[in-house]
């Protein structure tokens, strides 16, 4: 594979015009859209209007006029199309962490005889931390088992199973339908964290029988830094859900200003306080950009980018060990490579304008976001990395210094 061949792939890419919809900085190769999605160009004007006209000129009137009040449902319905859910099954609210907490507290309350919440050791930390807090509040345990032992650990006294569909580090993907079916045999509800799969891999929550899910707005959905998250509940499970967190925006009549709480019908009850409108409106631009592209084409391109990346890495950077499954059905849209010096190597890459990220203790993680990642990006990234390895540029002392955020 040569640079010219990579360029030829870009020229033939049916998604290539979507890249123009993103404001990618010249000279930078961005392979970290799985951590913070790139800026959709449309968001610049949308945010300017939101700040200057909606907030500045129309002020409080925008709650009705600009339908700020309906944004969580409106954007939720759009995300539903990305994840294979129906209108009214997804709502945008708070953070992924807080949405997990809502679901866990509601589900543990439904199963008072249960003794533990089940999850995976090495799951994304916030999932585990939230589950530990929810378990403590419910007076039950958190049981963490290895990935291989999950299916066998589902038991009658499991309050809920919390799994991340695509692992943030390894990129390994669970078989959602199989695990959901296995859990249903014991009536154990499963919460799927879709943070690394929404917008990354084909999702059909309805077909998989998934009943509960959460996900992140700022990764593949390109919603901006710290964008609000989403939560999904299958329609038939919504009415019974009573999260411990219940606030006025989730009340059936918030502007009646009454003491008694009555959960709003459907997903409305998953709202708590007033949503951060500016961040919400940025998220909507990202979701719109995702919906404009064909889902099958995105996944096909993700696979081609992955195969090209892993092929070039094996050829030109053989010191790295691929930790992501090669079977496309068993992984997400990022590729992770282990190397004992992954931290300074990643710093050297960033210095050379190739942005991936490091995940402790030894992983270089490269995100493939087919909306805007080009084949040339991948070719150049490996070329730069091969140069860094050959010249040992990464040994510069400054690259050993740790930053606040990795």
Is there binding between residue 345 and its own copies (CB under 8 A)? no
Write down the least CB distance from residue 93 to its own copies, Å: 10
CA distances for 142 relative to 127, 205, 238, 358, angstroms:
11, 26, 24, 28
Q: How far is the CB of 187 from its own copies (least distance, A)?
A: 23
Is 225 a binder of its own copies (CB under 8 A)?
A: yes
Residue in 21, 76, 189, 224 binding its own copies, rule: CB under 8 A: 224
Catalytic residue among 111, 219, 269, 359: 219
* Least gap, CB of 81 to its own copies (angstroms): 23
Min separation Cβ 139 and its own copies, Å? 9
When the beta carbons of 185 and 360 are compared against its own copies, the nearer one is 360
Q: Which segments are annotated as binding site? A: 96-97, 124-127, 164, 193, 196, 218, 248, 274
266: left (phi over 0), alpha (psi -120 to 50) or beta: left
Judge whether 219 counts as a catalytic residue. yes
C-beta of 214 vs 293, nearer to its own copies: 214
User: Closest approach of Cβ 342 to its own copies, in Å?
Assistant: 13
Binding residues for pyridoxal 5'-phosphate: 96-97, 124-127, 164, 193, 196, 218, 248, 274
User: Using the 8-state DSSP alphabet, how is residue 70 labeled?
Assistant: T
Give the CA distances from residue 54 to residues 69, 93, 265, 278, 289, in Å, rounded to whole numbers and listed in that order: 13, 21, 28, 10, 22
| C-beta of 118 vs 208, nearer to its own copies | 118
Alpha helix positions (H), 118-269: 125-138, 150-153, 176-185, 205-208, 235-238
Query: Is 337 considered catalytic here?
Result: no
Q: Indicate the residue among 369 and 393 with the shorter CB distance to its own copies.
A: 369
What lies within 8 Å, CB to CB, of 377 at 6+ separation is 29, 30, 31
- The footprint of its own copies on residues 264-323 (CB under 8 A) is 272-280, 282
For residues 69 and 63, is the Cβ–Cβ distance under 8 A?
yes
Give residues 148-177 in contact with its own copies (rule: CB under 8 A).
169
CB of 294 to its own copies, least distance (A): 25
Residue in the structure block whose two tokens are 């925006």: 249
Interface with its own copies includes 136 (CB under 8 A)? yes
Taking the complex as a whole, how short is the minimal distance between the CB of residue 285 and its own copies, in angstroms?
10
Using CB under 8 A, which of 113, 259, 296, 327 touches its own copies? 259
By CB under 8 A, name the one of 6, 85, 144, 287 that touches its own copies. 144
DSSP character at residue 59: G
Q: Which is nearer to its own copies, 266 or 276 (CB)?
A: 276
Q: Which stretch binds its own copies (CB under 8 A): 7-15, 250-258, 289-297, 333-341?
A: 250-258
Number of residues that bind its own copies (CB under 8 A): 96
Based on the shown chain and the rule CB under 8 A, indicate whether residue 137 belongs to the binding site for its own copies.
yes
Which of 3, 4, 8, 59: binder of its own copies (CB under 8 A)? 59
CA 12 from chain centre, in angstroms, equals 28
With a CB cutoff of 8 Å and minimum separation 6, the contacts of 202 are 84, 295, 296, 299
132 or 297: CB nearest its own copies: 132
Q: How far apart are CA 67 and CA 373, in angstroms?
A: 33
DSSP letter at 327 equals S
For 173, other C-beta atoms within 10 Å of its C-beta total 23
Strand partners, 251: 263
* Window 92-121: residues binding its own copies (CB under 8 A): 94-98, 101, 105, 109, 121
Tell which one of 192, 212, 218, 232 touches its own copies (CB under 8 A). 218
Q: Which of 302, 172, 280, 287 is nearest to 219 (CA)?
A: 287
As a whole number of angstroms, the distance between CA 37 and CA 39 comes to 7
| CB closer to its own copies, 208 vs 366 | 366
Residues between 60 and 89 that touch its own copies (CB under 8 A):
60-64, 68-70
Residues 334, 405: contact at Cβ < 8 Å? no
Is residue 193 part of the annotated active site? The answer reads: yes
CA distance 209 to 335: 28
30 binds its own copies (CB under 8 A): yes
Element (H, E) at 298: helix 295-316
Q: Find where tokens 């038991």 sit.
A: 155
Catalytic residues: 124, 193, 218-219, 365
């Amino acid at each position: 594979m040569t640079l010219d061949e990579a360029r030829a792939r870009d020229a033939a890419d049916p998604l290539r015009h979507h890249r123009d919809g993103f404001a990618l900085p010249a000279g930078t190769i961005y392979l970290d859209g799985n951590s913070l999605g790139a800026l959709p160009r449309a968001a610049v004007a949308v945010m300017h209007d939101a700040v200057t006209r909606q907030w500045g000129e129309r002020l409080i009137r925008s709650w009705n006029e600009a339908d700020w009040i309906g944004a969580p449902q409106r954007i939720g319905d759009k995300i539903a199309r990305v994840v294979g859910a129906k209108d009214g099954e997804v709502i945008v609210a708070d953070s992924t962490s807080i949405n997990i907490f809502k679901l866990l507290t509601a589900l543990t309350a439904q199963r008072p005889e249960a003794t533990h919440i089940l999850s995976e050791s090495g799951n994304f930390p916030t999932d585990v931390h939230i589950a530990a807090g929810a378990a403590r509040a419910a007076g039950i345990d958190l049981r963490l088992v290895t990935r291989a032992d999950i299916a066998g650990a589902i038991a009658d006294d499991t309050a809920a199973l919390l799994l991340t569909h695509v692992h943030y580090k390894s990129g390994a993907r669970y078989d959602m339908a199989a695990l959901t079916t296995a859990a249903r045999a014991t009536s154990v509800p499963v919460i799927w964290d879709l943070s690394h799969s929404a917008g990354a891999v084909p999702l059909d929550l309805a077909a998989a029988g998934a009943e509960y899910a959460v996900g992140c707005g700022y990764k593949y959905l390109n919603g901006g830094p710290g964008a609000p998250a989403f939560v999904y509940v299958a329609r038939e499970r919504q009415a019974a859900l009573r999260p411990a967190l219940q606030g006025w925006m989730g009340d059936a009549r918030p502007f009646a200003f009454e003491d008694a709480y009555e959960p709003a019908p459907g997903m409305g009850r998953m709202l708590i306080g007033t949503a951060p409108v500016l961040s919400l409106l940025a998220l909507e631009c990202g979701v719109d950009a995702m919906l404009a592209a064909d889902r099958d084409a995105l996944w096909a391109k993700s696979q081609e980018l992955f195969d090209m990346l892993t092929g070039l890495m094996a050829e030109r950077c053989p010191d790295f060990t691929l930790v992501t499954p090669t079977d496309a059905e068993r992984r997400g849209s990022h590729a992770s490579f282990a190397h004992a010096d992954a931290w300074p190597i990643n710093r050297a890459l960033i210095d050379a304008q190739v942005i991936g990220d490091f995940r402790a203790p030894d992983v270089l993680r490269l995100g493939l976001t087919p909306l805007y990642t080009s084949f040339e990006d991948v070719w150049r990234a490996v070329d730069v990395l091969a140069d860094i390895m050959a010249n040992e540029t990464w040994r510069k002392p400054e690259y050993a210094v740790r930053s606040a955020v990795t």
